[in-house]
Amino acid sequence: METTLRGVGVSHGVAIGQVRHMGTAVLEPPAKQIPAEEAEREQGRARQAVEAVAADLIARGNLAGGEAQAVLEAQALMAQDPELIADVERRIAVGSTAERAVYDAFAAYRALLANAGEYLAGRVADLDDVRNRIVARLLGVPMPGVPDSDEPYVLIARDLAPADTALLDPALVLGFVTEEGGPTSHSAILARALGVPAVVALPGAGELAEGTVIAVDGSTGDIFVEPGDERRAQLERAAAERKAALSAATGPGATSDGHQVPLLANVGGPADVPAAVEAGAEGVGLFRTEFLFLDDSREAPAEEKQVEAYRKVLEAFPEGRVVVRVLDAGADKPLDFLTPADEPNPALGVRGLRTLLDHPEVLRTQLTALSKAAEGLPVHLEVMAPMVADRADAKAFADACREAGLSAKFGAMVEIPSAALRARSILREVEFLSLGTNDLAQYTFAADRQVGAVSRLQDPWQPALLDLVALAAEAAGAEGKSCGVCGEAASDPLLACVLTGLGVTSLSMGAASIPYVRATLAKYTLAQCRRAAAAARATDSADEARLAAQEVLSGE
Ligand code: PEP
Ligand code: MG
């Protein structure tokens, strides 16, 4: 029998497929004694599990290629370490189960590594992952991390961190459903980047049985468990209608009366470029460079490697505008070698520009790499800093850009309410603003963007957030400078019209959202967008604001 669940739809489209769960951490196996006659069989089980896990890691490495392959192959070697295997067998011989013996042998090895200098200590997480895989295999529970499947599936997870998703095969993931996360969480951002439907903040998602067929409507947030034929047909029809409406609008972003609002793409690296070009992005409004830094937990990528990645993105938009954000590490994107480990409140700690000002060499290398990457290209390079709090921050960033000899426009992201409130003073130091509405909402409402329970407050339709957007856009307008939006707010077609009405000068989003935003913007005049914005700001809640804008735009 079909049942319906409701979460928050964050990435358009419909996906129908079997549920596969993201494996969670492996629990400690109970320390029970086995009779001596079972030891040999248990030792065989342990050896088999080790071999299977090593073979799987190698196969995944072959699939991933590059640096991921080297990491996975090193993990396969760890799994097959003869001393470790001998220790596991010794423990089984004196009465341990295979899973407990693996668990304890790895714990002993782990302690050795953890005390053996910085480099080896950095491998502890890899060792834990190998142990979890072998123990999961012995216990017959899902592997931690991305599911092993040859068939396409709908991925269910508590939440997805950027590092979790490095090995996701986009050809296999039909859609995402997460228990946690709001519209601005990384699960949502990643789903939009992959162009797959997604629903977040669905309590109980973890209880959907492995293999159950579900239909995910990423536009409405509805999940239909075991959908009937009629439901499937209805969902597929609605998705096809939406798609047809989209192909009607083409060209640069503009209102129906020709007010230009460039539609730009958010990218995490060269891999996202083809989708952006295909969606007709007029450039890049947010290049999240931190994805280049996630491969290695010990150091920043070398200058040449950065130059190569930046150049690939810059070359894709020959005459276009490419806004590169310098490294935004910390909080939900920690980097071992930069982020303090003991912050009581990482979102309020040393993150974004603060991290870079503490590590000027990392910023310098990045700016130099950008300068080299742009050499000889006709692209309009713009560089911006995340988490700018005040004029001093903006000045420190602009000084660093000048010192690096960078020929580009320097800008500041508006992600902290103080930056919106004092946008005028920040604009004394930089040439443009870009509103990061995801963090701006988080800090305005004191609502962690990773916590599903507070997703109501992460809703970018909140009138208080619209007020801050208006303040920043008005300040930029008065200075004759630009003020774009690159947070997820820009990807909501109706809200994109409201943002335009508030004075925002460009909209940047995951490539998959561009056609939706282009089509909606093309339906209304700038005056209608302004009226919708004023109506939304005159309300007291996100729901009322959405409704008020809808009423204005539909002429009710
Ligand atoms: C934002 O905060 O809105 C933003 C664009 O940055 P990120 O989502 O990468 O933190
Ligand atoms: Mg941000």
| Residue of 413, 416, 450 to mutate, ligand 1, most atoms within 8 A of C-beta | 413
* Residue 488 contacts residue 460 (beta carbons within 8 Å): yes
* pLDDT over 90 (residue 385): yes
Bridge partner residues of 221 (DSSP): none
Confidence of residue 220 (pLDDT cuts 50, 70, 90): confident
- CA pair distance 114, 128, nearest whole angstrom: 12
* pLDDT over 60 (residue 207): yes
C-beta 286 within 6 A of ligand 1: yes
Residue 7 CB neighbours (<10 A): 25
Q: What pLDDT shows up at residue 117?
A: 63
Considering Cα of 505, then 10, then 334, then 288, what sign does the dihedral take? negative
- CA pair distance 160, 10, nearest whole angstrom: 14
Q: What pLDDT shows up at residue 12?
A: 83
* Residue 493 contacts residue 520 (beta carbons within 8 Å): yes
Confidence of residue 56 (pLDDT cuts 50, 70, 90): confident
- CA pair distance 406, 431, nearest whole angstrom: 14
Burial of 108 (0-12, 13-18, 19+ CB in 10 A): exposed
C-beta 290 within 6 A of ligand 1: no
Within a 13 Å sphere around the CA of 325, how many CA atoms are in the beta-carbon half?
34
Confidence of residue 415 (pLDDT cuts 50, 70, 90): very high
> What is the average per-residue pLDDT within 289-293?
89
More confident position, 141 or 467: 467
Query: Which ligand is located closest to the Cα atom of residue 193?
Result: 1
Q: What pLDDT shows up at residue 141?
A: 78
Mean model confidence pLDDT for the chain: 90
Query: What phi-psi label fits residue 204: left (phi over 0), alpha (psi between -120 and 50 degrees) or beta?
Result: left
Q: 283 in helix, strand or coil?
A: strand
The residue from 359, 401, 483, 486 that is catalytic is 486
Copy the structure tokens of residue 94. Answer: 């004196």
Q: What pLDDT shows up at residue 158?
A: 84
Bridge pairing between strands 432-435 and 173-178: unpaired
Q: What pLDDT shows up at residue 162?
A: 57
C-beta 187 within 6 A of ligand 1: no
Could you tell me where the DSSP H helices lie in 122-252?
A: 124-139, 186-194, 229-247
Burial of 150 (0-12, 13-18, 19+ CB in 10 A): exposed
Residue 386 CB neighbours (<10 A): 29
> What is the average per-residue pLDDT within 267-275?
91
Q: Which atom of ligand 1 is nearest to the CA of 434?
A: 5
Distance 438 CA to ligand 1 centre (A): 5
Give Cβ neighbours of residue 115 (< 8 Å, ≥ 6 apart).
121
Quick one: DSSP state of residue 377?
-
Q: Which atom of ligand 1 is nearest to the CA of 332?
A: 10
Share of the chain above pLDDT 90, in %: 62
Distance 162 CA to ligand 1 centre (A): 13
| Residue of 415, 442, 444, 507 to mutate, ligand 1, most atoms within 8 A of C-beta | 415
Q: Which atom of ligand 1 is nearest to the CA of 186?
A: 8
Distance 15 CA to ligand 1 centre (A): 26
Distance 217 CA to ligand 1 centre (A): 24
Q: Could you give the strand order of the β-sheet that contains 3-6, starting from the edge strand earlier in sequence? A: 3-6, 222-225, 213-217, 14-21, 153-157, 173-178, 198-200, 8-11
Instruction: Name the least confident of 180-189, 211-220, 297-306, 505-514.
Output: 180-189
* Residue 507 contacts residue 496 (beta carbons within 8 Å): yes
- pLDDT tens, position by position, 93-121: 999 999 999 999 998 888 887 776 655 66
Which residue's alpha carbon is at the smallest distance from atom 8 of ligand 1? 438
Confidence of residue 71 (pLDDT cuts 50, 70, 90): confident
* pLDDT over 70 (residue 161): no
* pLDDT over 80 (residue 52): yes
Confidence of residue 295 (pLDDT cuts 50, 70, 90): confident
C-beta 444 within 6 A of ligand 1: no
- pLDDT tens, position by position, 332-361: 888 888 988 889 999 999 999 999 999 999
* Residue 300 contacts residue 365 (beta carbons within 8 Å): yes
- CA pair distance 177, 8, nearest whole angstrom: 10
Q: Which residues of 450-459 are buried (b: 16+ CB within 10 A; e: fewer)?
A: bbbebbebbb
Q: What pLDDT shows up at residue 266?
A: 96
- CA pair distance 293, 309, nearest whole angstrom: 11
The residue from 186, 359, 401, 483 that is catalytic is 186
Closest by Cα among 272, 294, 280 to 195: 272
All structural domains of the chain, each given as residue ranges with its CATH number in brackets, are 3-23+145-231 (3.50.30.10), 36-139 (1.10.274.10), 244-554 (3.20.20.60)
Q: What pLDDT shows up at residue 163?
A: 52
Q: What pLDDT shows up at residue 25?
A: 62
Share of the chain above pLDDT 70, in %: 95
Bridge partner residues of 154 (DSSP): 19, 175
Residue 207 CB neighbours (<10 A): 8
| Token pair 């801050």: residue | 468
More confident position, 482 or 2: 482
Copy the structure tokens of residue 29. Answer: 């196996």
Residue 59 CB neighbours (<10 A): 13
- CA pair distance 531, 354, nearest whole angstrom: 38
* Residue 152 contacts residue 191 (beta carbons within 8 Å): no
Q: What pLDDT shows up at residue 120?
A: 64
> What is the average per-residue pLDDT within 413-441?
98
Range with top average pLDDT, 287-301, 402-416, 449-463: 402-416
Residue 154 CB neighbours (<10 A): 26
* pLDDT over 90 (residue 285): yes
Q: 350 in helix, strand or coil?
A: coil
Q: Which atom of ligand 1 is nearest to the CA of 286?
A: 5
C-beta 436 within 6 A of ligand 1: yes
Bridge partner residues of 16 (DSSP): 215
- CA pair distance 239, 260, nearest whole angstrom: 28
* pLDDT over 60 (residue 547): yes
Please indicate whether residue 486 is annotated as part of the active site: yes
More confident position, 362 or 149: 362
Q: What pLDDT shows up at residue 411?
A: 98
* Residues whose beta carbons lie less than 5 angstroms from ion ligand 2: 415, 436, 439
| Token pair 């939006």: residue | 485
* pLDDT over 70 (residue 519): yes
* Residue 66 contacts residue 58 (beta carbons within 8 Å): no
Q: What pLDDT shows up at residue 86?
A: 95
Q: What pLDDT shows up at residue 409?
A: 97
C-beta 508 within 6 A of ligand 1: no
Give Cβ neighbours of residue 81 (< 8 Å, ≥ 6 apart).
109
Q: What pLDDT shows up at residue 456?
A: 86
Q: What pLDDT shows up at residue 517?
A: 92
C-beta 415 within 6 A of ligand 1: yes
